[in-house]
Amino acid sequence: MRLKVIYLFFITIIAAAMSSCSSGLKSKNLNQTGLLDQNGNIIKDTLVYTNKVNFRTAIPSWATNMRMDYTIVTNVVGVTNTNFQVIYGSNAYFPNLPSSPTDYYMINVPWANGEKDNYVTVSYKDVDKLNELWFDQINRRGAEDGRVFAIRNRDNDRGYWYDGKKPFQEAHPYSYDGRYDYYYFADNGDIVYKGGDKNNKNKNIVVKKFAGAVIVDYRRVSRRWNETSHHAPDIYRNTGEWTIGGIYKMGIAYDEAKNRFADGDEPTDGVYEFIVARKKWWYWKTPTAEEATIFERQYYSTDFMEVLVLNPHNNEGWDYCLGVDAYYAYYGNYKANGGAMPVDGFTAENIPYMTDEYTYLAQRPEYVVPMLNHTTTFTDSTRRWKFLAMPGHKY
C-alpha cells in the first residue's frame, strides 16, 4: 500500500536566509517565480538555509528520516511557538512559509508557452495541470517548430539542432556499429533508449517511467575535490527559481542494468550511468598519483525513482538546449560499489522517500525540495557526460 504523506503542521523557522542565487542566472527570473500571496504578489525566501528547524507540534517524520546527524531539543527556551527543535550537523534547505500560504506558485517552464512567455501560475495540488506543463515542455509546445526534446546519450557529441552536419538522432556508422544513441520521450512521458543493449542494438528500451510532475527549483551543482569528502554526493545550492520536474520510476533495476548495459566505453555504458547515476570522483594524493572512487545508485527494484529537471542554466552554453538534472532521496552506502542487496542504509523508514511518488505528488515544493536530498547533473562536459536535451524528432 502506497504511503501518503500529509503535512498537517505549522513550521516556524528562525534563521538567516543565505543567498542561493546561482551565478549566471538572470535576476529577473528569480524575481518572477515563487509562492503567491492573497493579492497575487510573489513571496520570496520560502526556503531557508539553516541547521535548526523548529516545530510547535509533533516533529514530522521527514525531519528525522532524511538526515542521520541530528539532535532533538525539547522545551526550547527563548523561542516562541516552539516545543521541539531539530538541530543538524550541517546546514540544509528547509521550509520558511508564511502563516496562511496560498496554494499557488508562479513557476518558470521553458518552451511551454505559458503566461508571461515561460511563466505559469499553478497550484501545487493540481497534478493534472503540472503533468500538462511537463508534457508542454518536453514537446516544446511554445516553439511551434514541429520539434520535440530528445536526450543525447553520454559520449554522443553529435549535432546541436542547427548544426546539420552530424544530427544526434542518426545512427553512428563506425565505432557505434550503426547504433542509434539517444533517448526519446514516449507519448506517455516514459524515457526510451533508442539503441538497444549490449546484445541487440535494434531495441527501443524503456529506462525511466513517468509517474507525475511536481514543482521544484533549479539547482546549482558543484563538486567536492578533497580526500575527506570524496564519497559525498554533489554539492548543490537551491536557486529559488521554481520550475517543473518529472517524477520517474526506474524502468530497469540495478542488477539488470549492470548486466545489460555496463560495458566499458561503449554507448550502452552511458545508459547504465543514466540509470544508476554512476559517477567517478577524482582526487589526488600526490602530484603523480591519482585515485578515483565510484558511486552507483543501487536501486534493487524498479520502484525507485528520481525527479528529472530540464535545466536551461546547465545547457553547456547552447541556448536551444536544456541540461538534464536528477534530484532524488538516497540513503545507501556510497562505498558499496556493487555490494550486497539490499544496500546498507536502506530502512523501512526511508524507503518511501526513495520509492513512493505519493510522498511528493501534490505536496508543496518547500517540502519536496528538502526531501530530494541528492542531486546529479547528467550534463557536464568536464566529466565526459554530454547528456543534453536537444530539439529533435519524436522517435
Give all strands (DSSP E) within 229-288, no chain letters: 235-250, 279-286
Q: Tell me what the mean pLDDT of segment 233-244 comes to.
A: 79
- Whether pLDDT at 5 is above 80: no
Counting residues of the chain whose pLDDT is more than 90, the rounded percentage is: 43
Q: Tell me what the mean pLDDT of segment 349-357 comes to.
A: 92
- Whether pLDDT at 276 is above 80: yes
- Whether pLDDT at 77 is above 70: yes
What's the CA gap between 331 and 345, in Å, rounded? Answer: 5
Q: First vs last Cα of the chain: how many Å apart?
A: 35
Which three three-digit cell numbers place residue 31? 524575481
The helix/strand/coil state of 52 is strand
What's the CA gap between 210 and 187, in Å, rounded? Answer: 10
- Classify each residue of 129-143 as buried b or exposed e, where b means 16 or more C-beta atoms within 10 Å of its C-beta: ebbbbbbbbbbbbbb
With the C-alpha atoms ordered 302, 306, 309, 313, is the resulting torsion angle positive or negative?
negative
Query: pLDDT tens, 129-176?
Result: 999 999 999 999 998 888 999 999 988 888 765 555 678 898 877 656
Which three three-digit cell numbers place residue 75? 522545551
Rg (CA), the chain: 21
Out of 18-22, 97-101, 177-181, pick the least confident: 18-22
Query: Using 50, 70 and 90 to split pLDDT, how confident is the model at 42?
Result: very high
CA–chain centroid gap for 134, Å, is 14
- Whether pLDDT at 179 is above 80: yes
Supply the DSSP symbol for 38: T
What's the CA gap between 262 and 298, in Å, rounded? Answer: 14
Counting residues of the chain whose pLDDT is more than 70, the rounded percentage is: 77
Supply the DSSP symbol for 265: T
Answer whether 164's CB lies under 8 Å from 227's CB: no
So what's the pLDDT on residue 380? Answer: 75
More confident residue, 8 or 153: 153
Q: pLDDT averaged over the chain? A: 80
Query: pLDDT tens, 311-348?
Result: 998 888 888 899 999 999 988 766 555 556 667 788 88
- Whether pLDDT at 35 is above 90: yes
Question: DSSP letters of 281-300?
Answer: EEEEEETTEEEEEEE-----
pTM (predicted TM-score):
0.84
Answer whether 297's CB lies under 8 Å from 330's CB: yes
Q: Tell me what the mean pLDDT of segment 191-217 comes to.
A: 96
So what's the pLDDT on residue 36? Answer: 96
Out of 6-20, 80-94, 284-298, 357-371, pick the least confident: 6-20
- Whether pLDDT at 34 is above 60: yes
So what's the pLDDT on residue 43? Answer: 93
Query: pLDDT tens, 89-132?
Result: 888 888 888 888 999 999 999 998 754 468 999 999 999 999 99
Supply the DSSP symbol for 227: G
More confident residue, 107 or 234: 107
Q: Tell me what the mean pLDDT of segment 12-27 comes to.
A: 27
Query: Using 50, 70 and 90 to split pLDDT, how confident is the model at 223?
Result: low
Answer whether 260's CB lies under 8 Å from 198's CB: yes
So what's the pLDDT on residue 76? Answer: 82
Answer whether 40's CB lies under 8 Å from 32's CB: no
Which three three-digit cell numbers place residue 262? 555496463
Residue type, 120: V
So what's the pLDDT on residue 144? Answer: 85
So what's the pLDDT on residue 222? Answer: 67
So what's the pLDDT on residue 65? Answer: 65
Answer whether 166's CB lies under 8 Å from 159's CB: yes
Other CB atoms within 10 Å distance of the CB of residue 378: 25
Query: Using 50, 70 and 90 to split pLDDT, how confident is the model at 295?
Result: confident
Q: Counting Cβ atoms within 10 Å, is residue 278 exposed (0-12), middle (13-18) or buried (19+)?
A: buried
